[in-house]
């Protein structure tokens, strides 16, 4: 395939970025999107030009670092895949592909296509943990019976990889889907009850402090989420938050 890439280039957090155009050829349908960018960068390096910086680690849909806005959609046109799992067969010979970083005030651009998503880490640090009795009388987690439906829902919420696509997809740049997944994975389990009240209050407070927008129930986050995190989690977060406020 021959393609035209329009890529956001930005030297640093404080510099002004622009879209740059790069023709590329020899792209196979079986290549992943990141392998296509590797080919581009090899060509740029061979010409003595600066390669395009982009984030990646596992390249198998686990780490959540390969966050790119591709033709206006977080992680590109396919559903339930991350950018590293997107294959070039999803595009046609002659296509123009627009590649940008995730856009949100709380995700400032570091360089080119890399954004700073440490706001998510700080939300996690504010409540994404459980207390365990380590006095010697620790109850084996497997000995605590948990309703199958709750266990499945907690597991589904825990599938969130913190990629930020929900924020990038949202017209308000809201982090409600991410935060609700992190709250839900504990709210549904007995082990999560000890800090339940502080958890939801602290995580919502931190989410607001980081500058994420409000949720207006548009649902774009759920559609673009590569891990199928459901809007039901946002409803659960709202219930948890209300009940924490009532408890005071």
Q: Considering only residues 74-93, where is the footprint of ligand FES by CB under 6 A?
A: 82-84
168 binds ligand FES (CB under 6 A): no
123 binds ligand SF4 (CB under 6 A): no
Among 181, 183, 187, 203, binds ligand SF4 (CB under 6 A): 181
225 binds ligand SF4 (CB under 6 A): yes
CB atoms within 10 A of CB 94: 9
Closest CB to ligand FES among 127 and 164? 164
166 binds, among ligand FES, ligand SF4, none (CB under 5 to 8 A by kind): ligand SF4
- Within 8 A by CB and 6+ apart from 103, the residues are 69, 168, 173
Quick check: 120 and 164 in contact, CB under 8 A? yes
CB of 110 to ligand FES, least distance (A): 16
Rounded-to-integer distance, Cα 160 and Cα 95, Å: 31
CB of 210 to ligand FES, least distance (A): 22
Rounded-to-integer distance, Cα 34 and Cα 45, Å: 16
Distances (CA, A) of 44 to 47, 59, 80: 5, 22, 31
Q: Hey, which bits of 116-213 come out as E strands?
A: none
63 binds ligand FES (CB under 6 A): yes
Among 13, 45, 58, 235, binds ligand FES (CB under 6 A): 58
Quick check: 36 and 76 in contact, CB under 8 A? no
CB of 226 to ligand FES, least distance (A): 8
Query: Which residues form the interface with ligand FES (CB under 6 A)?
Result: 56-59, 61-66, 82-84
């Amino acid at each position: 395939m021959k393609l035209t890439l329009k890529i956001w280039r930005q030297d640093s957090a404080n510099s002004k970025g622009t879209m740059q155009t790069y023709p590329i050829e020899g792209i196979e349908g079986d290549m992943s999107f990141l392998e296509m960018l590797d080919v581009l960068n090899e060509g740029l390096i061979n010409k003595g030009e600066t390669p395009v910086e982009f984030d990646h680690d596992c390249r198998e849909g686990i780490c959540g670092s390969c966050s790119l806005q591709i033709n206006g959609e977080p992680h590109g046109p396919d559903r339930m895949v991350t950018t590293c799992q997107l294959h070039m067969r999803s595009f046609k010979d002659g296509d123009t592909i627009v590649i940008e970083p995730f856009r949100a005030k709380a995700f400032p651009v570091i360089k080119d296509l890399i954004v700073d998503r440490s706001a998510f880490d700080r939300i996690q640090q504010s409540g994404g943990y459980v207390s365990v009795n380590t006095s010697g009388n620790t109850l084996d987690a497997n000995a605590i019976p948990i309703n199958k439906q709750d266990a499945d829902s907690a597991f589904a919420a825990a599938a969130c990889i913190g990629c930020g696509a929900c924020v990038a997809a949202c017209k308000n740049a809201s982090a409600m889907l991410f935060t609700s997944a992190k709250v839900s994975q504990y709210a549904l389990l007995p082990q999560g009850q000890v800090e339940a009240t502080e958890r939801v209050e602290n995580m919502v407070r931190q989410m607001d402090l980081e500058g994420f927008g409000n949720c207006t129930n548009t649902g774009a986050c759920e559609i673009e989420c590569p891990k199928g995190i459901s809007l039901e989690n946002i409803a659960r977060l709202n219930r948890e938050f209300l009940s924490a406020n009532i408890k005071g």
